[in-house]
Structure 1
C-alpha cells in the first residue's frame, strides 16, 4: 500500500476538490463545486472519476448520488492528509513558481507566505528561493508588473491587463502540441470545455477570413480569450485603455466577429477595453502571404522601425564578422517576421524543449552572430532579447549561413576505392545524393594510383582503405566504407561543417595556441565562484589593456542571457571592442567550479580587438568542433600541461 501511495499524482484542481469535500458532512452538488472552482459541472465529473480511479486502493472514495451530489468517504483521514502532502512533493520548482504567480494574479488580497508554505508543503527557505526566481523570470520582464512584499505578505499591482498577460505566459509555456494543454494548465482553474469551444470558434472565423496564425499564436489567442472570460466572470475588467492599439480594420472586424459569437454562446459580455489587446495581437500576429513579400514590398507590410532594425542588424553582421547577407531575400523576410513577432508585447517565443548544451554545441557560430542584435533590440524594442528570442534568431542565422555555404566553391574531391568500378560508381552517387551542394567528385581512382598522382588541386580524398593518401597539406583524407554507412555520413557532414566555418576566418592570423601562450596565467587558483574568477581575471587583464568597468559589465550582461559556460572543463569568456590588441588572461582552478551543470577547470578571459573579431569563430571551431577531446583538460592545472594538450590538435 505504501508504494501505491507514493505513486499517486493529483492535479492541483483535484486536490482542491478533495480539500473542499474533506470537511463536508452532507452531499455537495456538482454545480456548487463547479462554481467554487470556476469550471463546468462536466469538468468536476471528469476530475472526480479520475480521483476515484487513482485512489481506488486507498480506502478513499468520493461517493456520487444522481441528482444529489458528492460526498467524500475515507477510512483514515490521516491517510488523506498524507496523500495530499505527497502530491505537493511531485511539483517541480517551475510548477511551484508558476503556481505562486498564478495565485498572485487571481487573488485580490495579499497572500500570506506562511499559508503558501503550508499549502505547498515547502520550507520558508525554498519559498524564498522560488520567489526570487519568480521575480527574475517574470517580474523583471514584460509586462513589468510591480511586485510588493510587506512583512509576511506578497502581492502584485492591480493592473488587470498585466495580470492577464502573465496568466497567458504561464499557461502557454511548454504547451503540449501533441494534445490540448500542458502539465501546469491541467492543474488550474481554466475550464477545458470552455477552451475547446473558444478554440473552435477562432478556427471557424480564421478560416472564414482566410487568416493563418502560427501554432503559438493560436494557443495564445485561445488562452487569452479563455482567461478574459474567466476574469470577467469573476468581476475583473480592463479599466485602463491599452497603449497598444491598431488601425487595422480587417483585424478588428475579425476579432469582433469571434468575440460577438462567443458572447452569445457563453452568455458573457466582452467590453471594448477587453477587446483592444486582441485587436493589436491579431494585427501583429497574423501570418503574411509569403508570395507577396520581397525587397520591394516589405515597406507595405512592416513598420519602418522593424525594417530599420533589420537593415542595421545585417549591416552590423557585415561590419563585425565580414559576412554579407544583404542579398539573401529569404533571410531578410524571415528575420523581419521574427522581429515583428517579438515586438508584440503580449507574447514570448515558446521555450524550446531541448537541453541548452545540445543547441549551443550545434549552433556555436550562429549564436555569436545572433547575439549582435542586443544593442539594436534595446534601441528599437526597449529591451534586450532573452535566451529564447536569441535562439530563434540563431535559427535564422543558421539558414542564412547554409545559403551562404552553398554559394561557396564546392569541395574538390576524388574517391579512391579498392573495389571494382561498379562499387566506386555507386559510392560516388551515394555521396552526391547527400552532399551535392558542397562536393564535386572529379575522379574515381584505384587505390594504387595514389603514388602516381599529385593532389595539389584536390581538397578532399575519400578512401575505402586506411592508408595515408597524400603528403599535400592542403588536402584532407577521410576513410569511408564502400557502402557509405551512417557513420560515414556523420564524419563527412562534420568535415564539411568544419570546413565551411574555416571559410569564416580564412584571413585570421591569430591562433588559439599563440593566444594562450602569450596570455598571463593564474595557476591552481582556489577560487570557488565563477563570477569571482571573472573579476580576478579582469583585474589581471587590465594590466595588459586599459579596460574600464563597461568591459566587465558587458560580459556579465551577456552571461545572464547567453552563458559562456556551455561546455565542460573550459570556459572562454570574451568581448569585442576598440582594443589596441587582442589579449587574454587564463586561470586554472585547484578544484573545479560547477556552473550551469558543467564542471569548469579552466577559465579564459579575452579582450578581442575589432580587427580580430573573426577569431571567435576560429577559437570555437578549434576548441569545440575539432578532434580535440575536452576531457583531456579535466585534470590539467598548469599552462605547460594545457599547451601541450592543445598542440597536437590545433598546430
Structure 2
C-alpha cells in the first residue's frame, strides 16, 4: 500500500514537462526537502518494478522516465484502485489536511487524540500542530473553541447552530457529490435518508409553487440532513423567543412545518419547534420566486423599493470604478434584485451558503469578482451588511454573465492612424486596414506625428503608426510599414485580441522584487506598498485599501500565487508589482510564494478584462510560475516571462 504522499509526487511528476526540484515538491506537499528526498528514494525502488525510473539531475531536479508504457499504465491503474478503496479521505495538500482535521473534530462524539489524527494523515505531530493553528482560526469565525483534556485530546465546543453552519461549510462545500458522504467513515446519513428528504422537499415546494435552483435545492436537503443527524445525537438548536415569534409570521414557516410533518413519518425522529424555525431560516435564504408565467411588470412588482434603489447604486458604482458598460443592463438589474432578498436573509441569520464555483470564479473571472467586491461595499454602506466571499462569488456570477453579454455586441475598436508620408499614403493605409478588418476596426481619422499631442485619445482604442512613437501614451501603439505586410497584420490582430505587443506588459524593472525573505502576508504587503509610496506611485491610503480587500476575501488563487489589490482602483495608471519569496507564506487558507500586487487605473476607459485574462493565463501555468520563483535577477525574470508571451 503506497504512502499517499508518494502517490501525490507521482502525480506532480506526470504533470510536469520539466524536472521538479525537491524544494518545489516540498512546497506543494508542505513537508521538508529532506522528507521529499527520502520519499524519492522509496519511489525509485518502486517504479523500477513497473517499467519506469527516476532521473535525478543535480541542480535541476527529478524527472520520471517511462520505459515500458503498458506496464507503467497498469501500475497507475493499481494506484487509482488503491486510492478508491482506502485513501479517498486522506489528503496530502495542507489546505485539504485542514479540512480533514475540521471534519474529524467536528463530527466526533468524544475527544480526539492528536497522535491518532497524525497517524491517519501520515504526518508528524509538529506538522499537525501547525495545521491546528489554521483550524482554530477557522473555528473562531463560528465562535467554536477546542477544549483540551490531558490524555484524552481535543473536543469541539460551540453553539449548535454555529456548529451546523461549520459542518455545512467545511464538510459539504468542497464535495461535488454530497452522496460521497454516505459511504465513508464520516457517515452523516444513508442514501435512503437522502432520497427521502429530497422527495419530501420537492413535493412541498411543488405544492407551493416554489422555484429553487439545483444548488439551492441541494443546499436545503443538506441542511435538513445535518439537522436530522444532529437531532439523533440529541443536539438541538435554540432560538430566542422573539426570533421564534418573528419566524412564525413568515409564510416559509408553514412550508417548513409541512416538510417536518412528512419527515417525522419517514425518519422516525421528532423535530422540536426550534428545528422547524431552523428550516424556515434556510427557506428564507433561498430564492422563493415562482417563475411560472411571470411577465416583466409582475417581476418588478415583486422587487422591494429599497433593494431596487441599492442595486441601482451598485451598478452605478461598478460603472464609475471599472467602466464595464453594464449599468443599463435591465436583465442584470432584475437578477440582482431577486438575488439580494434571500441573500439579506442569509446574512441576518448568519447562513454561509457554500459556493462550489468560488475558486473558479475568482481565478477565471477576476473582473467580475472585483465588480462584486464593489457591490459588497455598496451593501455595507447602504444596508450595513457585510457579505462573505461566497456571497460575493454569487453576485460575481450575475455580473460575469452581464460582462460576457457586452462582449457579444462589442463595438468596433476605434483606431487613429499616424502617417509621416502624406495624405495619400495615409488614405491607402486606412483603406487597407478597413478592407482587412471591416467588422473589427473603425478608423476615426489620420494625423501627422507632430499634431498627435493636440489630439484627445479619450475615445480611441489604439494607434497605428508608420513611424516610431517614443512618447509613452495611454493606449497601445502599433508600428507598421507604410505598405502593410503580413507581420503588420499579425500585430494588429494581437491588439484586437487583447494581447499586448510589448514583451512585458504592466511590468517595470523597478517594481520586481525577487527572492525576498518575508515570513507573513502582512510583511510582504507592507514592504511592497512602502516601495510604491517611495516612488510616488501610490498614496498613503493604498496599503489600507489593500488590507480592506484581503479582509473581504483572500486574494490567494492556488499554484503558490496571490494577486492582492486595493478594494477600489487607486492609481493613475495600471501596473503590476511583483515579489517572489524564498519560502511560502500562509495567505488565507493557501500558501503563497509569488505575489503580483495589482494596481488598476482609476476610472479607466480601457478594457481591463484583457489584462485580467493575460494575468490569469500567466498564473495558471505551473511550470512558468515555478521557473519565475527560481529567478534571482531581473534579466532572468524577463527571459522567462518573454518565453511565456511567445506562447
Tell me which interval the TM-score lies in, with the shorter structure as reference length.
Answer: 0.5 to 0.7
Alpha-carbon spacing, 1:640–1:206, altered in 2? closer, same or farther (3 Å): closer
Q: Which residue of 2 aligns with 1:211?
A: 210
CA distance in 2, matches of 1:126, 1:569: 19
3-state SS in 1 of match to 2:285: helix
1:261 Cα offset (Å): 2.0
Residues 1:610 and 2:612 are matched in the alignment: no
Q: Which residue of 1 aligns with 2:335?
A: 334
- Name which of 450, 454, 476 aligns with 2:431: 454
Q: Which residue of 2 aligns with 1:201?
A: 200
1:315 Cα offset (Å): 1.5
Q: Which residue of 1 aligns with 2:186?
A: 187
Q: Deviations over 1:253-273 (max 9, x none)?
A: 222122112223333322211
3-state SS in 2 of match to 1:187: coil
Q: Which residue of 1 aligns with 2:531?
A: 540
CA distance in 1, matches of 2:3, 2:97: 24
Stretches of structure 2 lacking an aligned partner (at least 5 in a row): 7-81, 415-427, 440-479
- Where do 1:381-400 residues align within 5 Å? 382-386=385-389, 388-400=390-402
Instruction: Confirm or deny: 8 A CA contact 2:561 2:592 kept in the other structure.
Output: no
- Name which of 340, 352, 358 aligns with 2:356: 352
1:538 Cα offset (Å): 1.9
CA distance in 2, matches of 1:157, 1:188: 21
3-state SS in 2 of match to 1:240: coil
Q: Which residue of 1 aligns with 2:476?
A: none
- Where do 1:359-370 residues align within 5 Å? 362-370=364-372
TM-score between the two structures when normalised by the length of structure 1: 0.60
1:585 Cα offset (Å): 8.5
CA distance in 1, matches of 2:601, 2:529: 16
Q: Which residue of 1 aligns with 2:125?
A: 124
Instruction: Confirm or deny: 8 A CA contact 1:88 1:120 kept in the other structure.
Output: no
Q: Which residue of 2 aligns with 1:168?
A: 168
CA distance in 2, matches of 1:97, 1:117: 12
1:149 Cα offset (Å): 4.1
Instruction: Confirm or deny: 8 A CA contact 2:563 2:598 kept in the other structure.
Output: yes
Q: Which residue of 2 aligns with 1:419?
A: none
Instruction: Confirm or deny: 8 A CA contact 1:201 1:258 kept in the other structure.
Output: yes
Alpha-carbon spacing, 1:137–1:307, altered in 2? closer, same or farther (3 Å): farther
CA distance in 1, matches of 2:438, 2:481: 8
- Name which of 406, 409, 418 aligns with 2:408: 406
CA distance in 2, matches of 1:184, 1:304: 48
3-state SS in 1 of match to 2:336: helix
CA distance in 2, matches of 1:550, 1:220: 40
Instruction: Confirm or deny: 8 A CA contact 1:231 1:237 kept in the other structure.
Output: yes
Stretches of structure 1 lacking an aligned partner (at least 5 in a row): 8-82, 413-450, 463-467, 480-490, 503-510
Instruction: Confirm or deny: 8 A CA contact 1:195 1:222 kept in the other structure.
Output: yes
Instruction: Confirm or deny: 8 A CA contact 1:377 1:383 kept in the other structure.
Output: yes
3-state SS in 2 of match to 1:285: coil
TM-score between the two structures when normalised by the length of structure 2: 0.60
1:106 Cα offset (Å): 5.4
1:145 Cα offset (Å): 2.7
CA distance in 2, matches of 1:315, 1:543: 34
3-state SS in 2 of match to 1:227: helix
Q: Which residue of 1 aligns with 2:40?
A: none
1:101 Cα offset (Å): 3.8
Figure out how many residues of one structure are paired with residues of the other and give that number: 498
Q: Which residue of 2 aligns with 1:233?
A: 232
